[in-house]
């Protein structure tokens, strides 16, 4: 029909650009998934001790001075790791929303390499633990 053809021409939508193309291999965010390919996150380098949870899951941190361990854009349920290389006994403190164990700050304020795990249970606070000391 000429009217239908004219209407389609006037809409001018391109599949894959204006409208998502069908792809059976596309993950759905509202359904359980079975993964056949590897899923990994590329670590983000952030040396100031303030970690933006929108930027990455995993971070590499080699500070050049003392810092306050802080998280921004805190997202409930997000968890990840920080590889901290403290090259010179730089003092580490924790922001009020960064919850650490009693021995954590003294441990990571010492020269060494550390694997730190974090998790936000509520979208307000981030629980942080020392997963490994590689000094």
Cβ(124)–Cβ(102) below 8 Å: no
Query: pLDDT confidence of 5, banded at 50, 70, 90?
Result: confident
State yes or no: pLDDT of 32 exceeds 70: yes
| CB neighbours of residue 91 within 10 Å | 15
Question: How far is Cα 97 from Cα 83, in angstroms, rounded to an integer?
Answer: 20
Digit-coded pLDDT (tens) for 56-100: 999 999 999 999 999 999 999 999 999 999 999 999 999 999 999
Question: What φ, ψ does residue 108 adopt, rounded to 5°?
Answer: -85, -5
Cβ–Cβ under 8 Å, residues 24 and 48: no
């Amino acid at each position: 029909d000429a009217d239908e053809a004219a209407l389609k021409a006037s809409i001018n939508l391109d599949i894959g650009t204006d409208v998502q193309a069908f792809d059976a291999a596309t993950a759905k965010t509202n359904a359980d998934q079975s993964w056949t390919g590897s899923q990994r996150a590329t670590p983000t380098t952030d040396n100031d001790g303030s970690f933006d949870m929108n930027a990455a899951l995993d971070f590499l941190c080699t500070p050049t001075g003392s810092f306050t361990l802080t998280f921004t854009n805190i997202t409930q349920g997000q968890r990840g790791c920080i590889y901290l290389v403290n090259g010179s006994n730089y003092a580490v403190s924790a922001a009020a929303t960064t919850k650490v164990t009693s021995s954590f700050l003294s441990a990571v304020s010492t020269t060494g390499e550390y694997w730190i795990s974090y998790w936000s249970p509520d979208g307000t606070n981030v629980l942080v633990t020392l997963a490994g000391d590689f000094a």
